[in-house]
Amino acid sequence: MHKEKEATIYDLAKALKLSPSTVSRGLKDHPEISKSTKKKISQMAKQMEYRSNTFASNLRKQRTHTIGVIVPRLSSYFVATVLAGMEKVANEKGYNLIISQSLESEKKEIANAKTMFNNRVDGLLVSLAFDTKDVHHFTNFIQKNIPLVFFDRVYEHRQCMSVVIDNFKNGHAVTSHLIEQGCKRITHITGNLHRNVYKERFEGYKKALHDAGLVYSNELLMVTEMNEQAGIDAGNTILKMKKMPDGIFLANDVTAANCMRVLKQNGIKIPQDIAIAGFNNDPITRVVEPNLTTVNYPGYEMGIIAATSLINHLDGVSNILTTNKIVVKSELIIRESSLRK
Amino acid sequence: MHKEKEATIYDLAKALKLSPSTVSRGLKDHPEISKSTKKKISQMAKQMEYRSNTFASNLRKQRTHTIGVIVPRLSSYFVATVLAGMEKVANEKGYNLIISQSLESEKKEIANAKTMFNNRVDGLLVSLAFDTKDVHHFTNFIQKNIPLVFFDRVYEHRQCMSVVIDNFKNGHAVTSHLIEQGCKRITHITGNLHRNVYKERFEGYKKALHDAGLVYSNELLMVTEMNEQAGIDAGNTILKMKKMPDGIFLANDVTAANCMRVLKQNGIKIPQDIAIAGFNNDPITRVVEPNLTTVNYPGYEMGIIAATSLINHLDGVSNILTTNKIVVKSELIIRESSLRK
DNA sequence: TTGTAGGCGTTATCAC
DNA sequence: GTGATAACGCCTACAA
């Protein structure tokens, strides 16, 4: 592999009989440079195919204009939409995104955080893995005042911002809706309860049962990996129950859709025998039959909000610490899988 | 925002009464440094919380260890799995990924390519947008010998590598299968025919019709945006046809699933009235009813292959130009949506 | 085996 | 308005 020699501001300066500093200033529209020299400089830059060297600039300025993103996995619709929002903002504001996935493992998350740290990202956007216990691996960032924004799966920390939805309220709303439809025995299938999203949905679920005078018992709860297979397994487990539920609230749509399919294949009528609700408003909810009741989770918007907040802070436009929790609007979407009337 | 002073190799050198060069060498396991000094150096590095400055190193080495990725959109299952594969390889080999999306627009793709170029990525992984006509925006890279690997939506160029599946063969297989199931009038719903993936599937489809003695005519072809809405629209269009097809081959699963739903809602029996097949083996195929016949498209594997090839080339392990087209294995998956027997 | 010195390209600080 | 100079932190001939 062979590298061509790149033109530098020195080369431009020589060609224009100017000093490198003038060229540097001219290139970045400094007010103290005359219009005419600016024009000359940018013309010559084009002619010599000059491109600014980000690394020299970063080195000098001690900034990287790079933001690290750590997500549980790339292959989920929700994550993909969040990233799309982040990418849009970053692109517009001249930042780059370095994306990595923890694959739901704390160990990998720690390694990723370290890589991000060594790459001197200017800031970090994080959604935590299933089994992350604490956030020691981010103390590096906090100590060095590198801003950290959590989204979706967050860890409340007074020096970090969070972008979330109201999981409690939505969990409550889903459950209350199932109760209104006549469900008396509602199973909740969810993920690791250390994670805020699952914990709060669960709390909302319990509160709704309580509010309606229904009794919660542990056998109504199933903690799973919340993927395709978990949905299938959950369906099979339910089929084997002595006392089957008449309603199921699953904490995500992929699991819900797969669970529903297993139940239907075994002769269960949805929603007559069992009413089902998921969470996320994944496109999958609109192709399964019956269409799945769910909660709209505005990933794209959240990505935009998280990235904008971080970048505004980095650019000195606003101070991230003034608001350290943003709750994005979300709402129940009722469809046939839970509609009995 | 306030930045702490970072320790440099000079600080380590001073603390250890060594020279900066020894420290530099010790840190990267240079063979000419004695075990004992290496140990001392790495201990001190830990103690002083030293982290290597990538930018200084990049500046010096004229390499960035960064790979640019341009995809049509992040929010597709296929793309997400490809990225997951790429991320894995990059992470293992010490490279970073800068990811951007063209949103199916040539204009945005051009802008993204420029950003990547200015960020001096060491290499580029690209899947083209719907409406990209040519690849002028990549000539910069080619001229400077920055390696370029296309995947999925490729542009055949003698200096670039491609990672693809055999779209022709699979298009042929899908269509032949529908014919075997008794279909006589098979509609093909696909994307912009400038893109290899759609063009070749279409060619395979036509060839299969021809091989079976069926006649192709233009009214059997529908070119769409291939998203959720396109599937719905396609379903409605088919319902209004004077002469309805008895088989549909759609070039992706999301479109297929949505199209199928519209047909079913209007009383069409799948597969008895119309047999349907999609493409990609998206998880959606396994939750819709009937389950969708499709083509397995190994995204994760393709991501790994594309990234590995690029990085091996960058690291001088292999020469990318020796093989400039890799065809990954893929195959027809027959499910109920097309099975009449 | 370790040390010296110069340069990678940019920008901030002074000076004029 | 423009120019000279000194960092930013690292790497690698070349010297010792």
C-alpha B252/C-alpha B259 separation (Å) is 11
What angle is formed at CA B264 by the lines to CA B258 and CA B269, rounded to 5 degrees? 130
CA A32 to C1' D3, whole Å: 13
B266 touches chain A (CB under 8 A): no
pLDDT at B322: 61
In the predicted structure, residue A118 carries a pLDDT above the cut 90: no
What angle is formed at CA A139 by the lines to CA A135 and CA A142, rounded to 5 degrees? 120
Q: Which residue is nearest to nucleotide D11 (CA to C1')?
A: B60
Hunting for tokens 């989920």 — which residue is that?
A76
The SS3 call for residue B264 is: helix
Q: Which residue is nearest to nucleotide C3 (CA to C1')?
A: B19
C-alpha B117/C-alpha B124 separation (Å) is 9
Candidates B1, B75, B283; nearest CB to A228:
B283
Nearest to B106 by CA among B132, B128, B126: B132
In the predicted structure, residue A205 carries a pLDDT above the cut 80: yes
E strands within chain A? Answer: 66-71, 96-101, 123-126, 148-151, 161-165, 186-190, 221-223, 247-250, 275-277, 294-295, 325-328, 332-333
Residues of chain B in contact with residue A74, where contact means CB-CB under 8 angstroms, are 80-81, 83-84, 87
pLDDT at B272: 97
C-alpha A260/C-alpha A294 separation (Å) is 13
The residue ranking higher by pLDDT, A54 or A167, is A167
The residue ranking higher by pLDDT, B53 or A172, is A172
Nearest to B181 by CA among B119, B266, B274, B108: B274
B120 touches chain A (CB under 8 A): yes
A105 touches chain B (CB under 8 A): no
The SS3 call for residue B139 is: helix
| Mean predicted lDDT score pLDDT of chain A | 92
Residues of chain B in contact with residue A99, where contact means CB-CB under 8 angstroms, are 83, 87, 97, 99
Question: What is the DSSP pairing of strand B186-190 with strand B221-223?
Answer: parallel
pLDDT at A314: 87
**A340 to each of A175, A293, B54, B230, how far by Cα in Å?**
14, 12, 60, 30
Amino acid sitting at position A81: T
In this complex, the nucleotide whose C1' atom is nearest to the CA atom of residue B36 is C1
Give Dmax over CA atoms of chain B in angstroms: 89
pLDDT at A2: 39
pLDDT, averaged per 10 consecutive residues of chain B (341 residues), comes to 69 90 88 86 89 88 90 90 92 87 92 87 94 91 90 91 97 98 97 96 98 96 96 97 96 97 96 98 95 97 96 78 85 96 74
CA B293 to C1' C5, whole Å: 68
Candidates B99, B120, B254; nearest CB to A54:
B120
Mean pLDDT of A84-102: 89
Structure tokens at A122: 């200017």
pTM of the model: 0.88
Is the CB of B84 less than 8 angstroms away from the CB of A97? Answer: no
B105 touches chain A (CB under 8 A): no
What size, in residues, is chain A?
Answer: 341
Nearest to A106 by CA among A79, A82, A134: A134
C-alpha B79/C-alpha A75 separation (Å) is 8
Reported as half-sphere exposure (CB side, CA atoms, 13 A), residue B63 has a value of: 11
User: What b/e string do you get for A264-291 counting C-beta neighbours within 10 Å, with b at 16 or more?
Assistant: beeebebbeebbbbbbbbbbbbbbbbbb
A85 touches A310 (CB < 8 A):
no
Structure tokens at A261: 């399919």
Reported as a single tens digit per residue, the pLDDT across A8-55 is: 999 899 899 998 899 999 998 888 888 888 999 888 999 888 888 888
B258 touches chain A (CB under 8 A): yes
Candidates A53, A73, A283; nearest CB to B228:
A283
* DSSP code per residue over A225-294: --SHHHHHHHHHHHHT-SS--SEEEESSHHHHHHHHHHHHHTT--TTTT-EEE-SB--GGGGTSSSPPBE
Q: Which residue is nearest to nucleotide C7 (CA to C1')?
A: B60
pLDDT at B321: 57
C-alpha B145/C-alpha B313 separation (Å) is 12
Candidates B4, B54, B254; nearest CB to A144:
B4
Nucleotides of D under 7 A from a protein CB: 1-5, 7-13
Is the CB of A286 less than 8 angstroms away from the CB of B258? Answer: yes
Residues 11-70 on A with a CB inside 8 Å of B are 51-56, 58-59, 62, 64
- The DSSP H or E segment spanning A92 is helix A77-93
Instruction: Give the 3-state secondary structure percentages of chain A, helix then strand then coil, rounded to 5.
Output: 45, 15, 40
pLDDT at A317: 75
| Distance from the A262 Cα atom to the nearest Cα atom in chain B, whole angstroms | 9
Structure tokens at B200: 């070749």
